[in-house]
Structure 1
Amino acid sequence: MKKSLVVIGQGYVGLPMALRAAEKGFDVVGLDTNGAVVEALNSGVSHIDDVSDEQLNRGLAGGYRAATDAATIGDADVVVVCVPTPLSADGGPDLRPVEAAARAIGEHVRPGTLVVLESTTYPGTTEEVFTPLVVGDILIPGVDVFIAFSPERIDPGNERFGVQNTPKVVGGLTPECGHRAREFYAEFVDTVVEAKGAKEAEMAKLLENTFRHVNIALVNEMVRFSHELDIDLWDAIECAATKPFGYMAFRPGPGVGGHCIPVDPSYLSHRVKAQLGYAFRMVELAEEINTAAPLYVATRIWQALNERRIAVNGAKVLLVGVTYKANISDRRESPADPLAKRLVELGAELSYYDPYIAEWQVEGASGLHLRSAEDLSAAARDADLVVLLQAHRDIDLKTLAHESTTVLDTRGVMPPGKSVSRL
């Protein structure tokens, strides 16, 4: 008999995992509150970059279906929660989606079910917030219902690592909860690592992303004074990266974006301040530096135009690649937004090119709605300055350098030439 799995949340985390479980023989229901998304999924139309329509249709033929009815939870052997946890106004995670999922589980869950929270949050959430809503006053965690936390590690656009070959960390409220979670994931994930408990698993996720946040801030700070000192920081990084131990290469850019790096460390900072009363200074400094990175890019744009005796007010500036990372259509927290907002404030005539984004409503800039240029070469020739923000694989960097009068390369990937300057 097939094991039954319900995955709550069918976004970039929940959908790939649901399809992988279906591939390994689970009877899977992808539960989502968005009726349009559910209808599209059941029609074989994917809404995320990492799942093709072909993969989705294979899943539909092999045991996957999408639904909006929470009553399906009552038939599940395992329930996994993959709902978003955006930042709230006070800097902590907005747990309302997690709480809603937990209440729905509590209303329908049957004894013996394994329930796993994957949504990123601060340490203690699984035990203090999620579990009470699931078990209520009747069920006992670790006896009637088995509850664990397992941080999502999806990297959108990563063609090398996916659900199967990315090691999975699990931490249970009790040892038995942890063992059951490990056994569940081991059925479709190559490597499963069992943490001491749920808090340790929650902390592991925040540690991973705080590590990246801080080190990106380090090089984003260094690129500023390296430019002033006439040092090619990218060359220095490549040299440092030849050391086979004790060093990991991070590279500067126009800022951080996406669902994790600019958001997750704030959960930990908020928790430390709220519960212990003091600041997590490393995270706060990293956030300050990385948030300022797009404004530094705007300053470099002003300098590049000024060197050619062109005023930024009225200058034609073309932004190339406005998603938060290369080769995906995800624009969450993209540094292109604050950069565009600042350039418009300075009076620049802004345009953009991105093969993944046909239209762009710039966050924070009321009324600024743009359409992607159709011909990159023509747009580059028409611009006073081209700014490379994301080097999508579909963008011919050599042609871009040739067609542009001046390019500001914020990623350090353009071929060298008279028209190209690095951040």
Structure 2
Amino acid sequence: MPADLAVIGLGHLGMPLAQAAVTAGIPTVGYRTGPDAGSLTAAELRRMHASGFRITSGPAELGRVRTAVICSPTPRDEDGTLDLGQVEAAARALASRLRPHTTVILESAVYPGTTEDFLRPLLEEGSGLRAGRDFHLAYSPSRVDPGNRGFSPANTPKVIGGLTPACTESAAAFYGRLTDKVVRARGPREAETVQLLETNYRHVNIALVNEMAVLCHELGVDLWDVVRCAETKPFGFQAFRPGPGVGGHTVPLDDLGGPLGPAGGRRLRMVELAQQVNDDMPQYVVQRAAALLNEHGKSARAARVLLLGVTYKPDVADLKGSPAHEIAVRLTELGASVSYHDPLVHSWSVLDRPVPRADSLYEAVAEADLTILLQHHRTYDLQGLSVKAQLLLDTRGAAPTGAAHRL
């Protein structure tokens, strides 16, 4: 059966979209633009293939679909700007095969203006077609939350912003096959800025509660009890909780213009400060670890430190942006002997060296001078682990009250 949908980019955005489409009965082909980095299990992939899903690296099939969704990753460059290289590669591959009446949708995290000022010219120049007249063009922010069992594409509203009203309706008709609710934005720039706002909202609020964690430790206040009480307020408050840092694929953007906007564009100062606060958290965790060891008559140098959970998110086998990496680096620089345990990560390297993995969790916890919980996977029995541990630093507030030192 010929594919009706092409998902271009099979990473953390593309694979969940392809899975949702296959589940909805849409014949789907996946097109690679770089290394795959999806979070689907082998069993989920087998079910998709059994339902007709195919992966290709040749662009020929892109000319046979009615809808093409670009989900290519946009990682940060060394200067902090988003790298649109894979989006460009996807656009050029698609443009060479683009047919009239195709609906093209961008889901990658991008700067406002990217769909119109970057993607549109690539598609038009490569195809000889005109967006809004010969083919439909739209942007839709991806709302993927790996590991969240409460929300899936089916019950997560989808925002659509098309180049023209007809473009919006064409994209809405496609997403209406996947989700219960479609929300129409005024245009691509509004839809792109929705992605920006949602990402920055998360980082700013995490930064606030991370600063509160540092303050509350200095005041001798139990922040987790503060949050527990505050979240009973039925209006004007949403609970966020601190942690050792902020990982994941979505990164905050403090420059609304980016490389596509006007020179000297306005910067979002609050977002810039939030990023600084969150970037400081791994170092704060290491400082707390060294202080705990010192309080118990031990030096960080040559101390045996066990890191529990090194993924960026609980119960998701994804290391992207995980603060565990910097924490391990800084502990190693202090002279500590670092090992780790994570049920989802069977090998892990830091500074191009493999980090020893604990095979027997409880034995490793008992032998470590300090155990640091960085990620609370559901398989961890923190009550039992706290009994075994010589010292336990809980950066997630997950251990029973009084069973561990909290961040």
TM-score by length of 1: 0.92
- What code does the residue aligned with 2:297 have? R
Q: 2:336 aligned to 338, 342, 348, which one? A: 348
Alpha-carbon deviation of 1:64? 1.6
State which drifts further: 17-26 or 63-72: 17-26
2:302 matched to 1:314? yes
Following the alignment from structure 2 to structure 1, what is the Cα–Cα distance between the partners of residues 20 and 269? 40
Following the alignment from structure 2 to structure 1, what is the Cα–Cα distance between the partners of residues 340 and 112? 40
What is residue 376 of structure 1 aligned with on the other side?
361
Following the alignment from structure 1 to structure 2, what is the Cα–Cα distance between the partners of residues 295 and 344? 12
2:348 matched to 1:360? yes
Following the alignment from structure 2 to structure 1, what is the Cα–Cα distance between the partners of residues 70 and 265? 31
SS where residue 228 of structure 2 aligns?
helix
- Identify if the C-alpha distance between structure 1 residues 130 and 264 changes in structure 2 by more than 3 Å, giving closer, same or farther: farther
Alpha-carbon deviation of 1:368? 3.1
CA contact (8 A) 2:111 2:260 kept: no
Following the alignment from structure 2 to structure 1, what is the Cα–Cα distance between the partners of residues 172 and 46? 28
Q: 1:420 aligned to 401, 404, 407, which one? A: 404
What is residue 173 of structure 2 aligned with on the other side?
183
Alpha-carbon deviation of 1:267? 5.9
Unmatched 5+ stretches in structure 2: none
2:269 matched to 1:281? yes
- What code does the residue aligned with 1:394 have? T
What is residue 293 of structure 1 aligned with on the other side?
281
Q: Which runs of 4+ in 1 moved over 6 A?
A: none
CA contact (8 A) 1:91 1:267 kept: no
- What code does the residue aligned with 1:230 have? G
Paired-residue identity, %: 47
2:290 matched to 1:302? yes
Unmatched 5+ stretches in structure 1: 38-46
Following the alignment from structure 1 to structure 2, what is the Cα–Cα distance between the partners of residues 131 and 105? 12
SS where residue 115 of structure 1 aligns?
strand
- TM-superposition CA deviations, 1:338-368 (whole Å, max 9, x none): 1111111111111111111111112xxx343
What is residue 53 of structure 1 aligned with on the other side?
42
Alpha-carbon deviation of 1:254? 0.3
- What code does the residue aligned with 1:87 have? R
State which drifts further: 76-85 or 161-170: 161-170
What is residue 255 of structure 1 aligned with on the other side?
245
2:399 matched to 1:399? no
Alpha-carbon deviation of 1:34? 5.5
2:393 matched to 1:408? yes
2:68 matched to 1:79? yes
CA contact (8 A) 2:257 2:265 kept: no
CA contact (8 A) 1:273 1:280 kept: no
SS where residue 233 of structure 2 aligns?
coil
CA contact (8 A) 2:257 2:266 kept: no
2:148 matched to 1:158? yes
User: RMSD value over aligned CA atoms?
Assistant: 1.9
Alpha-carbon deviation of 1:125? 0.3
Following the alignment from structure 1 to structure 2, what is the Cα–Cα distance between the partners of residues 122 and 16? 22
CA contact (8 A) 1:135 1:145 kept: no
Alpha-carbon deviation of 1:274? 5.8
- What code does the residue aligned with 1:171 have? G
Following the alignment from structure 2 to structure 1, what is the Cα–Cα distance between the partners of residues 291 and 372? 13
Alpha-carbon deviation of 1:396? 1.2
What is residue 108 of structure 1 aligned with on the other side?
97
Count matched residues. Answer: 406
- Identify if the C-alpha distance between structure 1 residues 269 and 231 changes in structure 2 by more than 3 Å, giving closer, same or farther: farther
What is residue 331 of structure 1 aligned with on the other side?
319
Following the alignment from structure 2 to structure 1, what is the Cα–Cα distance between the partners of residues 79 and 331? 28
Following the alignment from structure 1 to structure 2, what is the Cα–Cα distance between the partners of residues 239 and 135? 55
- TM-superposition CA deviations, 1:251-306 (whole Å, max 9, x none): 1110100101xx24256474698644443211110011000000000110011011
- What code does the residue aligned with 2:132 have? G
TM-score by length of 2: 0.95
